[in-house]
Structure 1
């Protein structure tokens, strides 16, 4: 799962990839929210991926990038990434929503089979503009939904509306697509935590994906160019052509292990297990729009709502 690794970045930079990193407190990246929780959670990350971020992390720089997809509407959490999202039918005066991973919620990983719904929350999020600068702190009033069963997603409700965010900061929410994406689609994974955008394509889909005690359905597999790292958990996966969100980034196989934490495996319809070291994944989000009605209220009994229920 793509939470940040706690390492001594300076030691890693000078010692090189082959050195064993010493455990130490990790400085928060520029723009990361540090007002909630005790800081980044320690889960393993590919060392080679971390080396690529050392220079930007230590200098506080955001790497320049061309292209239509930018950081506007993404958010940084204390331990993950996320985005302000709206459903296709959301109104401007609806309470705004934030999408991230189920494994990023402040209460810890939901257990297999557990679904959290309509819980109080005061989680804060750093709102980014198009260039990746933090322009505001947004605060939740409810954890609307979270699970790590079948998918790995969480949706928070903010104490403000889309139109207030737009009028105050000039930033629009990202729209969740209600259509299942297809293989070959060009995508961008946009991390508010690291202020980094990964461009690649959807390589295909895993019928089932198992990581530790959790199993997910119909997961998106990226081509190798999206070499996401710790801290990218919860990043929106944006269709580069339409600008809509089609998935939420959540994990990758770091070490080539089989079905262990931070080393998910794919399981085919025939039961065959496939391990793809260095390949990363996301969970589809097209099922969620059917579960939200007027005023962005969650209705798990709505027609077409097929996400796991409590």
Structure 2
């Protein structure tokens, strides 16, 4: 985990011999004409033209810093779910380890909190300081996420500051997708692609399921933790940045390793990772309230 702060041209030559008319000698009988020898003319087939339909490249969304937030030690983002409404209390997404280093098996729900978040607009200018009412959900078990409920609504934030929340998608990302890691703390947008979806990611005493591995272009640093990972084909959040292998060590703090289904370990020095977030929306119901017993909710429970 991060320490805080792409003819042949065929010429057919037809050689035609020019025949000189035969002139009969005086008094001579005309020669019996021999029937012309039939010649087989083979017609050269025209090449068959096939219509090739080019698959259109997906139109990529313009990604900005609007909706990102700055924590005291990490990055984060103002988020909503596909089913959220404007009058719901707003939520901020970050990492579990940005609240504290939670032991495996620990899950925090609905704990009072008054943590401040500096809200940024598209240019990275701070436009407001938002306050948390509670830590609605936080864990470092299987995933590394924290969701704070704020003391204000999406409608109030939009009306006062002109900033909309990012939508947390309820389907997973795909390998090869174009993504942006949007760091509020560093006011940077890092563009790359989803390089892979490791079976397990292990770092120290933590093991995470359903991570996202970035291509090398996303060179994150400390303080980027908690940044939203935005799918540029939709503009939706599909993961939250949480770690990277800093010096090539294997499965140690700040040096996560990948573990496949057979238990084989792969170390990728300098490569960075995020936790997928598509399972979260099913665990929040009407009014953006956490309900870990809701149908389809598979987040770790206390």
Match of 1:211 in 2: 203
Match of 1:234 in 2: 226
Which of 62, 75, 82 lines up with 2:69 in the alignment?
Answer: 75
> Which segments of 5 or more consecutive residues in structure 1 lack a partner in the other structure?
6-66
Match of 1:163 in 2: 155
Kindly name which structure, 1 or 2, has the bigger radius of gyration based on alpha carbons.
2
Secondary structure in 2 matching 1:88:
coil
Q: How far apart, in 1, do the equivalents of 2:189 and 2:235 lie?
A: 14
Q: How does 1:108-127 map to 2 (within 5 A)?
A: 108-127=100-119
Cα RMSD (Å):
1.1
Match of 1:101 in 2: 95
Q: How does 1:33-112 map to 2 (within 5 A)?
A: 68-105=62-99, 108-112=100-104
Which of 299, 302, 307 lines up with 2:299 in the alignment?
Answer: 307
Q: Does 1:135 align with 2:100?
A: no
Deviation at 1:2, TM superposition (A): 2.0
Secondary structure in 1 matching 2:157:
helix
Q: How does 1:214-293 map to 2 (within 5 A)?
A: 214-293=206-285
Deviation at 1:241, TM superposition (A): 1.3
Q: How far apart, in 2, do the equivalents of 1:231 and 1:95 lie?
A: 26
Which structure is higher in helix share? 1
Match of 1:11 in 2: none
What is the TM-score of this pair, normalised by structure 1? 0.79
1:155-174 deviation digits (Å, cap 9, x = unpaired):
00000000000000011000
Q: How does 1:139-150 map to 2 (within 5 A)?
A: 139-150=131-142
Deviation at 1:4, TM superposition (A): 3.8
> Which segments of 5 or more consecutive residues in structure 2 lack a partner in the other structure?
6-60
Secondary structure in 2 matching 1:146:
strand
Count, aligned residues: 248
Match of 1:49 in 2: none
Q: How far apart, in 2, do the equivalents of 1:150 and 1:166 lie?
A: 34
Secondary structure in 1 matching 2:148:
strand
1:97-146 deviation digits (Å, cap 9, x = unpaired):
000000001xx211111000010000000000000000100000010000
Q: How far apart, in 1, do the equivalents of 2:141 and 2:212 lie?
A: 15
